[in-house]
Structure 1
Amino acid sequence: MIEITDKPISPELVVKQVKTDSSGCAVTYIGLIREYSRGKPVLWVEYKDIGGTAENRLQEIASEVRQKWQLNNIAICHRVGRLNVGDINIVIAIASAHREEGFAACQYAIDRFKQFMPTQKKETYKDGSIQVEGNNI
């Protein structure tokens, strides 16, 4: 399951999508909008899928992960739109027979997400300043 959505993400539903009878574990990463970034209080964060390429980039990350580890399943769900402090912006779920590859694969997936930054990320701070980053700028 690879998904770009503008709706709130349910980690439980994402995990349910990856579980199989042969899975010994389901490892998850849940990314949250934090209160402070770059030393400034955050008002909100906005993610945009400029050009509509984000889902393909997430598919590429999932393919890389599948090539490196023997997994039962992988899901990456990323939320776009304006998110407030505490909102979930990404859920990565990995199901595997053993925890070692599950944890390693999940760590790799979020690291690649941060490197690729498949969406534009615009942080708006309480002082009115903004910071924009991402591959689609």
Structure 2
Amino acid sequence: MVVTVTHEDFDINRLIEEKKSPEMGAMVSFIGVVRDDGIERIELEAHQEVAVEELEVIRDEAFALFPLKSVDIIHRIGDLNVGDNIVLILVGAGHRQEAFEGCQYIIERLKERVPIWKKEYTKEGERWVPGKGE
């Protein structure tokens, strides 16, 4: 299972093929992408070691709460342009409901707890985006 914070992009199709297994009847993926809502690009920063540790805790919580078979989490950092991949969560389970619930749990906890900071660049300037709870 992959849990990482990286500058590198990911290949969703390759990861799905690698994770398929006979006991999984469902795979759910979430891909976060830089959207054009008035920004030109974003910069993502993280304390990588702490971010990975928190992602691993969230992964372990998801395994404890839902009957999952596989969880992969990849979050990118660095300079990203509109259309670039930001985050991938790939969850495998025996059934679709379990996979959907596990995936939703992971993305919600990630947004709440993982120390990754975003700066948006627009024609008017730049600004750090406050996270939840700030």
TM-score by length of 2: 0.90
Deviation at 1:17, TM superposition (A): 4.0
Report deviation, 1:15: 2.2
| Shift, 1:3, TM fit | 1.3
CA 1:28–1:51 in structure 2 vs 1: closer, same or farther (change >3 Å)?
A: closer
SS in 2 for 1:14: helix
* Cα shift readout 1:81-107 (whole Å, capped 9, x = no counterpart): 000001000000000000001001111
What's the counterpart of residue 55 of structure 2? 58
- Tell me how far 1:125 sits from its aligned partner: 1.8
Distance 1:7 1:100, change over 3 A: same
Cross-structure match for 2:76 = 79
| 8 Å contact from structure 1 (residues 17, 75) kept in 2 | no
The CA deviation string for residues 57-80 of structure 1, in whole angstroms up to 9 with x for no partner, is: 110110110010011100000011
In the TM superposition, what is the alpha-carbon distance from 1:131 to its structure 2 partner?
2.6
Q: Which has the higher mean CA deviation after the structures are superposed, 60-69 or 123-132?
A: 123-132
Matched residue, 1:97: 94
1:58–1:118 contact (8 Å) kept in structure 2: no
Cross-structure match for 2:45: 48
State the TM-score, normalized to the length of structure 1: 0.88
Is structure 2 residue 67 aligned with structure 1 residue 70? Answer: yes
Identity of aligned pairs, percent?
A: 31
Consecutive unaligned residues of structure 1, counting only runs of 5 or more, are none
Query: Could you tell me which residue of structure 2 aligns to residue 127 of structure 1?
Result: 124
Q: Residue 122 of structure 1 contacts residue 132 of structure 1 at CA under 8 Å; is this kept in 2? A: yes
RMSD of aligned alpha carbons: 1.8
User: Any stretches of 5+ residues in structure 2 without a counterpart?
Assistant: none
Match of 1:109 among 92, 101, 106: 106
Shift of 1:51: 6.1
The corresponding residue for 1:3 is: 4
Letter in 2 for 1:78: H
Q: Pick closer, same or farther for the CA change 1:15–1:46 going to 2, 3 Å.
A: same
